Structure 1
């Protein structure tokens, strides 16, 4: 696929994905990667999404504030996440597309199920450090393979019974921190070429436009109904990716 065609497809995908995040506050990489894999190979899809994902998550933690305090509370999760993302990309550089499809499918299906109807049991403080390492490592392995690592983050943060603002701050920070070693490893392994780097930076623009449109649209539609429909769509896309990985 040529650069012009990739830019056109990517612009439409990230306009939609940005709008989704603007309406319901979630789902940018989930929507973008699941749609992009309908047109391009999964490694390229993940690489193309890196610019919008890094910028949107950096913006999220900047606007929420208390960056230092949030990092101090979740640095262990961040360390396990970042280390396992980088190592997973390095170790799995030669795995087949089927394995990547399976990893993306598992990430998206888990993400959808968690948001549709799931409640984590409360986690006592005494287990917090071990949980941060465990969930952070699992998130990093999934992220290194699929580019989507939100599901284990949701599971951990939900078990900690956080306030809404703290949940958004922590998830934004962990998503951003996971994206930094992912970019580094993709450059090192040659997946993020100069050409794709230019494309992913340009795609930040339609992402931000979509985000602004979604924020406006949020005032005019039923947020809960839209979220439920969207999650069922994600579930179908995820199941299709699992199918492509298995058959």
Structure 2
């Protein structure tokens, strides 16, 4: 049992270091990488529980790193409200204990996102569509978040399609990720889906996540971001396909 615990702890440390590394280089991807790898090692519910603390810390860092928090909150509050509602509904699936279905759902989400990011054409959303489309995208993102623990689809492609300035886009992604993480934590807590040991491990995972994020920021100037992102997405696609075909 002791050896198994050490092995699992080492896997968690390596996973969150790698996830932080990806976020440090690309500005995103920590929850996606962590859920993808941990979803192979354990149930998606356990993986989502471990994700909460490191994701919250890194997302808050990203959210408050820019100057546009209040304007972005005023602009996207309908979307964020819908994210919370969708997550509360979707978490019933994640907390149900049906690990085969949730693993397949997680794998399908990873495949869709990585395939779109690799071959999809950049989209543009007209300003006139934003008032009604933002809540729809928020609800869909919440449902995916609640049922799989991954909160990049469809929020990330949508925010990228709005034509935001670079700094505003990074901060808007931080806002979406932060709200999604808090909503996921709250919904799982209300369903009594947390285990004390998982929360403790989640807090411990903050350190390797921050170390990986710092390392990724150092490497950003030495590695072509486009090349790194391409191979990251290819690996993510293969990982998602494996989860769809051979769920645990």
Q: If the TM-score is normalised by the length of the shorter chain, which range does it land in?
A: over 0.9
Q: Is the 8 A contact 1:13 1:32 kept in 2?
A: yes
Task: Report whether the alignment pairs 1:190 with 2:205.
Answer: no
Alignment of 1:192-231 (within 5 A): 192-231=194-233
- Render the CA deviation track for 1:21-41: whole Å, top value 9, x for unaligned: 111222111111111122211
Alignment of 1:77-96 (within 5 A): 77-90=79-92, 93-94=95-96, 96=98
Runs of 4+ in 1 over 6 A off after TM superposition: none
1:91 and 1:16 map into 2 onto residues whose CA distance is 27
Report how many residues are paired: 246
Task: Using the TM superposition, give the Cα deviation of residue 127 of structure 1 relative to its aligned residue in structure 2, in angstroms.
Answer: 1.6
Task: Using the TM superposition, give the Cα deviation of residue 125 of structure 1 relative to its aligned residue in structure 2, in angstroms.
Answer: 2.1
Alignment of 1:109-188 (within 5 A): 109-188=111-190
Aligned residue for 1:37, secondary structure, equals helix
- Render the CA deviation track for 1:103-137: whole Å, top value 9, x for unaligned: 21122122212321223442222221211111111
Q: Structure 2 vs 1, CA of residues 41 and 121 (structure 1 numbering), >3 Å: closer, same or farther?
A: closer
Aligned residue for 1:197, secondary structure, equals helix
1:158 and 1:25 map into 2 onto residues whose CA distance is 13
**Cross-structure match for 1:47:** 49
- Runs of 5+ consecutive residues of structure 2 not aligned to the other structure: none
Q: Is the 8 A contact 2:55 2:181 kept in 1?
A: yes
1:106 and 1:229 map into 2 onto residues whose CA distance is 19
Task: Using the TM superposition, give the Cα deviation of residue 96 of structure 1 relative to its aligned residue in structure 2, in angstroms.
Answer: 1.4
- Runs of 5+ consecutive residues of structure 1 not aligned to the other structure: none
Task: Using the TM superposition, give the Cα deviation of residue 48 of structure 1 relative to its aligned residue in structure 2, in angstroms.
Answer: 0.8
Aligned residue for 2:96, secondary structure, equals coil
**Cross-structure match for 2:72:** 70
- Render the CA deviation track for 1:155-192: whole Å, top value 9, x for unaligned: 22133122221211111101100111110111222222
State the TM-score, normalizing by the size of structure 2. Answer: 0.92
Q: Is the 8 A contact 1:98 1:244 kept in 2?
A: no
State the TM-score, normalizing by the size of structure 1. Answer: 0.93
> How large is the Cα RMSD of the aligned pairs?
1.8
Task: Using the TM superposition, give the Cα deviation of residue 92 of structure 1 relative to its aligned residue in structure 2, in angstroms.
Answer: 5.3
Task: Using the TM superposition, give the Cα deviation of residue 229 of structure 1 relative to its aligned residue in structure 2, in angstroms.
Answer: 0.8
Q: Is the 8 A contact 1:101 1:244 kept in 2?
A: no
